[in-house]
Amino acid sequence: MHDLIQYIESYLSSDRTPGAAGNFFWAFVYILLVFLGLSVAVIAMNWLERKILAHMQVRLGPMRVGPHGLLQPIADAIKLLLKEDIIPAEADATIFWIAPFIVVLAAFTVFVVVPFGPTHAITDMNIGILFMLGVSSLSVLGVVMAGWASNSHYPLIGALRSSAQMVSYEVAMGLAVVSAIMMTSLNAEGQGTLSMIGIVQAQQEQGIWFIFKFFPLGVIAFVIFAIAMVAETNRAPFDLPEAESELTAGFHTEYSGFRWSLFFLAEYSAMIAVSSIAVTLWLGGWLRPFPNALTGDTWNLVFSLVPGATFLFLAAMCFYSTVRMPKHPLFRIQTIGLAGFGVVLALIGLVMFLPLVRERVQDIFWFSAKVAGFMYLYIWYRGTFPRYRFDQLMKVGWKVLLPTGLALLIVTAFVEMRTQVWAEVIIPMWLGIVDLLRRIF
């Protein structure tokens, strides 16, 4: 028993990810944890989206199913699982069946390299960010196949539009990502890195989050990526291909029940995945706010109390709404349920005040808090902006974001270079060009 505890301890405080250590069992445990966390996050996103959107539209949202609609996602899941599974008559059954799985595969495999902490990733590949961009571009294949296999024109047009949009905004995303990667090349060894953990460590060493680096350049890159990532995941205001009033739900029109829930799961996971990219590249990943400006033990202590305080605040809100519940005998179960939920949140908050848990949970909490901020932004965009028409969408992608991204790339490269000595770079470059010309002619 003592050996088991020691074994677990050795991996909780190890200095490498399970992938780097080559340890199958711990990699599997991490994969399960990430999968569970993702499922909980998608369920919470479902509830949050409906409630927040409703409150933005001055209405209440789901209130009946559980206290304040908290059990609504579970009711939705049960409904989707029990629905009849319909396949259109002339549809190609193999492809119809495979398409949702490809989209889910692409959306979930991305989380293999997402860093929740300096050693809290499933693995840390040398090409982390490249892997994430590449695998998330595999979801275009699933979309195209879903539209084509439905053998009906609305899904086909929706799929073509959706995939054209995703491919166009991937280019802008790639350019913004490259300019952020270039900023890592001023780290300790003098070489940049593509690995996700390496990027956050570069921000830590250089003492500045990349969104604030070289003042307007980091912010512009972040803004380009933030716009492109919303378009990449087919969310408002870029959701023409799947909005119900436009194309009757686009490429997933003919899907119902469990298969539709796979598309839905993949969409929210993709949102969380691209938000993780944005958080890692520009917002400092798992670093707490002001990691270098406000150092010292007291500030560390103050910031380490924030996770517990957040959960206690949520518990306080639960208790407040419990008190305001209607005092009718039919509401008794809901009131007790809400109070119980509040007690659970308060317990989690209290557990997070223990010193042993406090240090371990820091990185994961700050990372999740930043990603949660992005999720709120997604819901905010949906409630605020009108939809882009398809040609306006493509115009923004190709004529606005792409030239801005290219110009940003060139300017960032130039600014990055000016910190080196003129004689070390510019003159040898001219000598190299002269040499090249001499070799040709």
Partner 1 sequence: MNPPVATPFFFYLLAGIMIVGGIAVITRKNAVHSALALITTLLAQAGLYLMLYAPFVAGVQIILYAGGIMVLFLFVIMLISIERTQKERQFNKQWIVGIAAAATLGVLLIGVYTTTSQGHTLFIEGRMSYAESQNTQSIATLLFDRFGGTYMFAFEIASLLLLVAIIGAVVMAKKRI
Q: Could you say which residues in the range 130-189 bind partner 1, by CB under 8 A? A: 130-131, 133-135, 137-138, 140-141, 144-145, 148, 156, 160, 163, 167
Instruction: Output 24 or 422, the one with its CB closest to partner 1.
Output: 24
Which range touches partner 1 (CB under 8 A), out of 193-201, 204-212, 270-278, 320-328? Answer: 193-201
Instruction: Output 94 or 295, the one with its CB closest to partner 1.
Output: 94
Tell me: does residue 231 bind partner 1 (CB under 8 A): no
Tell me: does residue 215 bind partner 1 (CB under 8 A): no
The Cβ-side half-sphere exposure at 273, using a 13 Å CA radius, reads 31
Tell me: does residue 435 bind partner 1 (CB under 8 A): yes
First to last CA, the chain: 76
The token pair at 369 is 């808090």
The token pair at 27 is 């990699």
Tell me: does residue 425 bind partner 1 (CB under 8 A): yes
Which range touches partner 1 (CB under 8 A), out of 128-136, 225-233, 251-259, 375-383? Answer: 128-136
Instruction: Output 98 or 243, the one with its CB closest to partner 1.
Output: 98
Smallest separation (angstroms) from partner 1 to the CB of 174: 9
Q: What is the CA radius of gyration of the chain?
A: 24
Name which position in 88, 92, 300, 372 contacts partner 1 (CB under 8 A): 92
Tell me: does residue 428 bind partner 1 (CB under 8 A): yes
Smallest separation (angstroms) from partner 1 to the CB of 59: 41
Q: What angle do CA 422, 425, 426 make, to 5 degrees?
A: 70
Spatial CA neighbour of 269 closest among 142, 157, 127: 142
Which range touches partner 1 (CB under 8 A), out of 38-46, 267-275, 403-411, 424-432? Answer: 424-432
Smallest separation (angstroms) from partner 1 to the CB of 420: 11
- Pair 309, 349: CB distance under 8 Å: yes
HEC letters along 151-203: CCHHHHHHHHHHHHHHHHHHHHHHHHHHHHHHHHHHCCCCCCCCCHHHHHHHH
Spatial separation of the C-alpha atoms in residues 284 and 207, rounded to whole Å: 10
The residues near 273 (Cβ < 8 Å, ≥ 6 apart) are 107, 110, 111, 114, 132, 136
Q: How many CB atoms lie within 10 A of CB 431?
A: 10
Instruction: Output 319 or 390, the one with its CB closest to partner 1.
Output: 390
Instruction: Output 92 or 246, the one with its CB closest to partner 1.
Output: 92
Total number of residues that touch partner 1 (CB under 8 A): 38
DSSP-derived secondary structure letter, 223: H
Smallest separation (angstroms) from partner 1 to the CB of 388: 22
Name which position in 22, 216, 340, 403 contacts partner 1 (CB under 8 A): 22
Smallest separation (angstroms) from partner 1 to the CB of 279: 21
| Burial of residue 421, with CB atoms counted within 10 A of its CB: 0-12 exposed, 13-18 middle, 19 or more buried | exposed
Spatial separation of the C-alpha atoms in residues 334 and 69, rounded to whole Å: 10
Instruction: Output 109 or 310, the one with its CB closest to partner 1.
Output: 109
Interface positions with partner 1 (CB under 8 A): 20, 22, 24, 92, 94-95, 98, 125-127, 130-131, 133-135, 137-138, 140-141, 144-145, 148, 156, 160, 163, 167, 191-195, 425, 428, 431-432, 435-436, 439
